[in-house]
Amino acid sequence: MTFELSHFSAAVVFAACASTVFGITQRNTTRDMLRYGAYCFALFVGGVIVASWAMWLLKH
């Protein structure tokens, strides 16, 4: 079974899985886990968007 993901969707799936593990393992309380997981997810996806625009600007 193979499937095709776009660059962005691949980055979002990666961010979701990594953020879940980081949130659970790096914090002690449920509330902190959720907050840290969301923070990591936002940084992952935000980093992808910033890097994408930076590359677009470099090209143009």
Partner 1 sequence: MANAQNTTAVGGRTAKTPAATTSTMTILAPLAGWLLPGLGHFIQRRWIRGLLLMLAVFIMFFAGLGMQGRVYAFNTGDLLDILGFVGDLGAGLLYFIARAMDWGAGNIQRAVADYGTKYIVVAGLLNIVSAADAYHIAIGKKQ
Residues that bind partner 1 (CB under 8 A): 1-5, 7, 10, 13-14, 16-18, 20-22, 24-25, 28-29
Give yes or no for a contact between 41 and 12, defined as CB atoms under 8 angstroms apart.
no
Q: Which one, 17 or 42, has the nearer CB to partner 1?
A: 17
Question: Which is closer to partner 1, CB of 10 or CB of 42?
Answer: 10
Q: Which is nearer to partner 1, 13 or 42 (CB)?
A: 13
The answer to whether 15 and 24 are in contact (CB under 8 A) is no
- Distance from C-alpha of 8 to C-alpha of 31, rounded to nearest angstrom: 28
